[in-house]
Structure 1
Amino acid sequence: MNTNAVTMIIPAEFPQLQALAWNRDAARPIPAEEAFALYERNWRFVDQTRLTAREKQLIQSLAAEFGHGVLLVAG
């Protein structure tokens, strides 16, 4: 029995993530690790002044789980 459930995130629920996922159906859930990778790879396109408190919390949680507490971004 596999107990390693993959956490899924719906980009449409997070405005900046939805913008980063412009080329896919934002209503379709993606794995949390993929969401983290999208934020890291495309951070330069994230409007940090428009991040909601909920989205900031999501980013912090993703960084803690997949980035050892660090979001690797340039800038």
Structure 2
Amino acid sequence: MARHPAALIVPKDFPELGLLVWNRDVARPIPREEAFAIYERNWRHVDAGRLTPAEAYLIEELTHEFGHGHRMFA
């Protein structure tokens, strides 16, 4: 059965993303493409060593979906 990712992401569910959106309501869901853009634009502020497995998986999914073949982290 194919996995259908949620159309919206709640930043507070992902610690590093929550930190990146410090200036907005972290409980407000955002579109997946917007989450990808936030990670991409602010990647220098992400502590990859602190990513939870769920957040690392989310980033991989978003990168595959919106990254045009480019990986954010190895």
- Sort the TM-score into its range (normalised by shorter chain): 0.7 to 0.9
TM-score normalised per structure 2 = 0.85
* RMSD (Å) for aligned C-alpha atoms: 1.7
Query: Structure 1 unaligned runs (5+)?
Result: 1-5
Tell me what 1:17 maps to. 17
Instruction: Check the 8 A contact 1:40/1:71 in 2, yes or no.
Output: no
Q: Distance in 2 between matches of 1:70 and 1:14?
A: 21
Count of residues paired in the alignment: 68
Q: Distance in 2 between matches of 1:49 and 1:21?
A: 19
TM-score normalised per structure 1 = 0.84
Q: Distance in 1 between matches of 2:10 and 2:72?
A: 22
> Kindly, what percent of the aligned residue pairs are identical?
59
Instruction: Check the 8 A contact 1:60/1:69 in 2, yes or no.
Output: no
Shift >6 Å, 4+ stretches: none
1:1-75 matches, within 5 Å, as 7-71=7-71
Query: Structure 2 unaligned runs (5+)?
Result: 1-5
Q: Which has the larger radius of gyration?
A: 1
